Structure 1
Amino acid sequence: MGPSDRMLALLCCLANGDEAMTVKQLADSTAQPVSTAYRHLRQLLAWGLVSERANGRYAPGAQAVRLQQGFLRSNELMRWASPVLMELTERTQESSALLVALRDHALCVEMIDSPQPLRCCYRQGQVQPLVKGASARALLAWMSDAEREMALALRDEQERNEALKGLADIREHGFAVSLGEIDEGVWGASAPVLTPRGQLKAVVSVMAPQSRVSGREEWLACQTRDSAQRLGELLQ
């Protein structure tokens, strides 16, 4: 791993964390010496990508807000995702989300909450490993072989085998479903967003409490698949 990779690994580690981290924690999490991590953090501080707290811990900096705004403003996928997800939630009355693959994780980039009082606890910016859950399986199913290999490179043999199980069936049906794989009692369905040329851009997911989906599983999965297909057709 070169210097640039180490610096980017620190940024990603901070982005994925739920709280500020010490240099030692960051160095251990990214497999680099403390002295190297500290040197890279000073550079990131100078650019405003990282902020330093009074207790010597580090967190994402204010420049990250501009990066997010630039992503939302210039990304065609995001421009069309919100109206498509809002329509999906209106039809199903369940929470819907858009997730993209980031190396070995799935990142939620858009989320529309269910209007019902009892709904899933999920949020924009949340990440999950690409090993379980409907969203992860749908992303893995439509990835290229090289992307799939990278996504699972750090997993042990048992995790890899479990993640790869049933991907052909998922592609045949056009969607993946799961129950309780991420959160107990939560049912989910995910389908790929493919460009007209067949390139995987993201997955659309619907999630709901298990108690509310009985007898609606097939319909909800098909609604998810149709919305993902519509979003893909809107992309140039």
Structure 2
Amino acid sequence: MSGFEVTPRILRDQVLEQVEEAIVSGDLKPGDRINEVLLAAQMNVSRGTLREALRSFEQAGLLVSKPNRGTYVRVIAPEDTVEVFELMGIVEGRAVRRAIELRGPDLQAVASTHLERMAEVLTDKSSTPRTRQDADLAMHEAICACAGSEFLIDTWRRQKGMVLSVVANVGQPVITQVQAAESHQELVDAIATGDPDEAERVFQKHWRDAAEAITSAMSTAAGRTVS
């Protein structure tokens, strides 16, 4: 893995950003053991600062600690992917229903603005896996926030780490397919109907379809490994 360009005074959130980038981009792969000494040296930070960041990722689900063995990038199973994405669909479906029914912030404008930004990033040849993923999740988070429910947005954010873990496990070609602007346009179109039932259904289907594409790719990859 290449070295990190980080100053000695790096803040905790900068360490988090660098580690997350390494996981999402595949520099740190599922099953890789985190070499704290090497990683701290590459980032030019103390092991204590690094460990604080690693604990945050353990809580988020990106990393897993094994007693007397160390910390590893989480390997996620297809069935776990289905559970995580089903939960995201339920939360977002409920959020978009609430946002439409309450007629709060301009949900349509928020969704459309983020979709435009996402389309720009996806077509930008200089974009990275991290910037593409950020644009994707930013759209979903912004829509969820329009519900005005701290419980819903907090639940969504608690699952974000597991979604990133899925991204790390399946690889960019499949994730690029899932991130297609066309599938996200369907979300914007569903909001435009003003029908909470339809919007909730489309959002839940969006996450189910993503889970199906990802788990299918996981199964195919597992078959190649066995053969």
Indicate whether the TM-score tops 0.5. no
Q: Which has the higher contact order (CA 8 A, sep 6+)?
A: 2
**Higher normalized helix content (fraction of residues):** 2
**Higher normalized strand content (fraction of residues):** 1
TM-score by length of 1: 0.29
TM-score by length of 2: 0.30
